[in-house]
Amino acid sequence: MAAARRTRATLWLAVPVALLAAVVIPSPGHAAPIIAGGYAFTNFDFPSAGNSAGAGTNANGIANNGAVVGFSIDNAGNFTNYVREPSGTATLLNLPTPGMAFGINSVGDVVGVDQNGNATFLPKGGSPQMLTTPGATSFAFGINDHGNIVGQYSSGGASPGFFLASHNGNGLITINGPGVANIVNAQGVNDDGRIVGFYVGNDGEDHGFMANAAAAHNGTLTGIAIADPTIPNVPGEPGATFVFSQILGVNDHDLAVGYYGDSTTSQHGFFYDTTTGQYTFLDDPAAAFDNGVEVTQITGINNMGEITGFYSDANGVFHGFVACPVGVSCVPEPASLTLMGFGLAALGFTWRRGRRHAAR
């Protein structure tokens, strides 16, 4: 299985375009018993998800009300976008494919990219609206409950991040990397204006950054580099060394999430406390090696500490997950699919696609 590292998105060019009506479809659960430290995990598949290597489900963002946004990939590589409601049902999004849905807020507004490579805003129950950003191509990755949007655009050989105060195109801020202004991905923004994401460093690899919208000057903001994690020893990956990291979401408590890639090409989820600089690592316990590679990406976190993301199984198929900290009253999940874990002691402390890496 090729690892699911998120690469610059050009995939939509190869997939037929179709407009999807908004309907509600029962979402099948993934019922295998799962236990994870400090979290109650629910694994799931979106409807129409394939069962071959590289196919399956990508869960890309989570709202404060527990709704999850993402897409399925069928065995032919076609994308279908959904919102997974807190009840576990999946709502088909009115987003032309192969556009991709990456972020959602509590109102149900979704952001992503359309079939032509334009950052897109999809109001709940409405029609897609192209966002006004500079450049020939753009991606919207995150939206908060104030309607602020972050993403990336490409212009003149550079690909900086952006912040928009609203989907109407107001308050555009260009986000440059720490000492590097060429390739920056703003992935998440909380209700206080804390922005997180990743940039390509001088070593050609991805590294995390954070910024605050209030610090912008003359429409420009420079991110603050986040130190790379010191990665733990992982069973089955002897001698693995750090290669890259991506920070993909942040909540109002300034707790961020993401994943790192190592020298075996495996990927592992983490939490990052932006106030203390501490990392804590967590994988979906259902993740398994396929040809020596296993993948867990934590792609979003809400104010309850509930997280979402996806993992790969022993056949290289991807599945989504939501997970709630034990002892926290998250939005109820179907009881038959939820299993309680043990203490993650340090929790108080850890496509999407300008370069956010999609499951292949």
Write out the chain in H/E/C secondary structure: CCCCCECCCCHHHHCCCECCCCCEECCCEECCCCCECCEEEEEECCCCCCCCCCCEEEEEEECCCCCEEEEEECCCCCEEEEEECCCCCEEECCCCECCEEEEECCCCCEEEECCCCCEEEECCCCCCEECCCCCCEEEEEEECCCCCEEEEEEECCEECEEEECCCCCCCCEEEECCCCCCEEEEEEECCCCEEEEEEECCCCCEEEEEEEHHHCECCEEECEECCCCCCCCCCCCCCCCEEEEEEEEECCCCEEEEEEEECCCCEEEEEEECCCCCEEECCCCCCCCECCECEEEEEEECCCCCEEEEEECCCCCEEEEEEEECCCCCCCCCHHHCECCCCCCCCCCCCCCCCCECCC
CATH number at residue 205: 2.120.10.30
- Nearest of 92, 26, 88 to residue 322 by alpha carbon: 88
The tens digit of pLDDT for each residue in 291-301 reads 999 999 999 99
- Residue 296 counted as domain residue: yes
- Residue 5 reports pLDDT greater than 70: no
Query: Which structural domain, as residue segments, surrounds residue 287?
Result: 11-337
Rounded to 5 degrees, φ, ψ at 11 are -70, -30
pLDDT of residue 334: 46
Q: Which residue has the higher pLDDT, 350 or 92?
A: 92
Task: Find the mean pLDDT for residues 107-112.
Answer: 98
Q: Which range among 73-87, 168-182, 322-336 has the greatest average pLDDT?
A: 73-87
Q: Which two tokens stand for residue 302?
A: 């809400």
Instruction: Please say if the pLDDT value at position 181 is more than 70.
Output: no
**CB proximity list for 156: less than 8 A, separation 6 or greater:** none
Query: CA-to-CA distance for 121 and 124, rounded, in angstroms?
Result: 10
**Separation CA 293–CA 238 (nearest Å):** 12
Q: How many domains does the chain have?
A: 1
**Would you put residue 275 in left (φ > 0), alpha (ψ -120 to 50) or beta?**
alpha
Q: Counting every residue, how long is the chain? A: 360
pLDDT at 210: 98
CA dist 166 and 323 (Å) reads 30
More confident residue, 111 or 1: 111
Q: Mean pLDDT over residues 318-347, rounded? A: 60
User: 77: buried, middle or exposed (CB in 10 Å: 19+, 13-18, 0-12)?
Assistant: middle
Residue 359 lies in a domain: no
Which is it for strands 173-176 and 220-222: parallel, antiparallel or unpaired? parallel
User: Is 3 among the domain residues?
Assistant: no
Is residue 71 situated within a structural domain?
yes
Q: What pLDDT, on the 0 to 100 scale, is given for residue 179?
A: 79
Q: Is residue 96 scored above 60 in pLDDT? A: yes
In a domain, 1, yes or no: no
The reply to whether 354 falls in a domain is no
Give per-residue pLDDT as tens, 207-262. 999 999 999 999 999 999 999 999 999 999 999 999 999 999 999 999 999 999 99
Domain-embedded: residue 105? yes
Confidence of residue 134 (pLDDT cuts 50, 70, 90): confident
CA 109, 115, 117, 118 torsion-angle sign: negative
In this predicted structure, the answer to whether residue 75 has a pLDDT above a threshold of 50 is: yes
Report pLDDT for 119. 96
**Partners of 249 in the β-ladder:** 257
Please check whether residue 200 lies inside any domain of the structure. Answer: yes
Percentage above 90 pLDDT, the chain: 73
For residue 62, which of 54, 70, 74, 73 has the smallest C-alpha distance?
70
Residue pLDDT, tens place only, 35-47 = 466 898 999 999 9
Q: Which two tokens stand for residue 298?
A: 């934590």
